[in-house]
Amino acid sequence: MADALSGASGRLRLSVGAGGAILLALPWILVALDEPFFIGVCVRFLAYGLAAAALDLILGYGGLVSFGQAAFFGIGAYTAGVMIHHATDGSVLLAWPIAIGGSTHALLVLPLAALVAAALAAGIGVISLRTGGVYFIMITLAFAQMVYFIVLSFPQYGGTDGLMLMARNAAPGLDLADETTLYYVSLVALAAFLWFGRRLARSRFGMVLRGARENERRMRALGFAIVRYRLAAFVISGAVTGLAGALLANQSGFVSPDLLSWQRSGEIMVMVVLGGMGTLFGPVLGAVALLLLEEVLQGWTEHWMLILGPLLLGVVLFTRGGLWGALSGERAGDG
């Protein structure tokens, strides 16, 4: 990870180091506190953190306000869910032209979830990226709603009721049914993406992506076909969001169309803004903070949104660079 932080300030290194150490030690701490139940809650933090960081790749670096991330999140979760469902009840996914059954194999299902989400992102991106600004927000939202209703229309996968999963993914020596194993698999996925994303930001590809956010006209005049770069980033973001969805499905043992709803897209976007756009680490912090706040406030009152709203406003108005900016001193555009 230090490799992705070359030239970073001491405060930034300290923040990343402390965050990494806490996340590494968390399962032990929770077991020591006799609260192993919370390991599952922390898996949710990691899954949402991964989805938020994936959105930040295109929102923070690319300036692309995708309001359809729930489509990729949900389709990843459903890919895992459907494969596990068919594997556990012995039915086939596809009878013709070749019979394909389900699977619980982690090394098959998790990459497949990313792949399906990537394919969906490629399709949505090819059309959406022809537009810009508010139109891009609206068209990604519209596509996500289409996916939502398509998934609803499959009664064999539970329709509005969703789908209970009778098993989790597993691979030889890696049984995700063990909550701690699932936690570390999620943590490795998150760390790998954060490393990759931070490196990407300073690569040739990242320079084009960020340059197009800064000044689209200039980039065209230089000779960059910027839609190609944006599409590639959009597909990477979709794939990683799909993987995050599959991890979440494993944790909750349940998938429902709620994962595909526009509220979910909004929530992921709030995590990015709350944590600090264009930093990748920030959105992970934002995800943890938002989910924790929701938990705590829901315990106090059913009108918890009345408290959450002003809190979010306060962070956006008074901390430049979100929570991560306040903690590490890093803001989008640095470096």
Partner 1 sequence: MAETEPLIDVRGLSRSFGALRANDGIDLTVLPGEIHAVIGPNGAGKTTMIGLLAGEVAPDAGAIRFRGQDITGLTVQERALRGLARSFQITSLCRGFTALENVMLAVQARSDHSFRFLRRVHRDRALVDPARDALDAMGLLARADTCASYLSHGEQRQLELAIALAMQPALLLLDEPAAGMSPDETRRLVAIINGLRRRTGVLLVEHDMDTVFALADRITVLVYGKVIATGTPDAIRADPAVRDAYLGHATVAA
Residue 101 C-beta: closest distance to partner 1, Å:
35
Q: Is residue 106 classed as helix, strand or coil in its secondary structure?
A: helix
Rounded to a whole number of angstroms, the CA Rg of the chain reads: 20
| 85/168 Cα distance (integer angstroms) | 10
| 42/23 Cα distance (integer angstroms) | 9
Between 55 and 209, name the residue whose CB sits nearer to partner 1.
209
Residue 149 C-beta: closest distance to partner 1, Å:
35
Residue 123 C-beta: closest distance to partner 1, Å:
20
Question: Please, is 205 exposed, middle or buried when counting C-beta atoms within 10 Å of its C-beta (0-12, 13-18, 19+)?
Answer: middle
Residue 228 C-beta: closest distance to partner 1, Å:
8
Residue 321 C-beta: closest distance to partner 1, Å:
14
Residues 6+ apart with CB under 8 A from 254: 162, 163, 164, 165
Residue 309 C-beta: closest distance to partner 1, Å:
30
Between 232 and 308, name the residue whose CB sits nearer to partner 1.
232
| 43/248 Cα distance (integer angstroms) | 7
Question: Please, is 144 exposed, middle or buried when counting C-beta atoms within 10 Å of its C-beta (0-12, 13-18, 19+)?
Answer: buried
Between 184 and 205, name the residue whose CB sits nearer to partner 1.
205
Between 156 and 203, name the residue whose CB sits nearer to partner 1.
203
- The angle, 0 to 180 degrees and rounded to 10, between the axes of the packed helices 69-89 and 106-128 is 150
Structure tokens at 140: 């990604």
Please answer whether residues 145 and 263 qualify as being in contact, where contact means their C-beta atoms are separated by less than 8 angstroms.
Answer: no
Between 116 and 208, name the residue whose CB sits nearer to partner 1.
208
Between 203 and 298, name the residue whose CB sits nearer to partner 1.
203
Categorise residue 158: left if φ over 0, alpha if ψ from -120 to 50, beta otherwise.
left
Give the footprint of partner 1 on this chain (CB under 8 A): 6, 196, 199-200, 202-208, 210-211, 214-215, 217-226, 229, 232, 333
Residue 1 C-beta: closest distance to partner 1, Å:
14
- The residue among 234, 313, 228 whose CA lies nearest residue 67 is 234
Between 203 and 301, name the residue whose CB sits nearer to partner 1.
203
Residue 59 C-beta: closest distance to partner 1, Å:
15
| 243/110 Cα distance (integer angstroms) | 6
Structure tokens at 298: 């829901």
Residue 235 C-beta: closest distance to partner 1, Å:
12
Between 94 and 225, name the residue whose CB sits nearer to partner 1.
225
Between 105 and 331, name the residue whose CB sits nearer to partner 1.
331
- The residue among 77, 70, 229, 48 whose CA lies nearest residue 141 is 70
| 220/140 Cα distance (integer angstroms) | 24
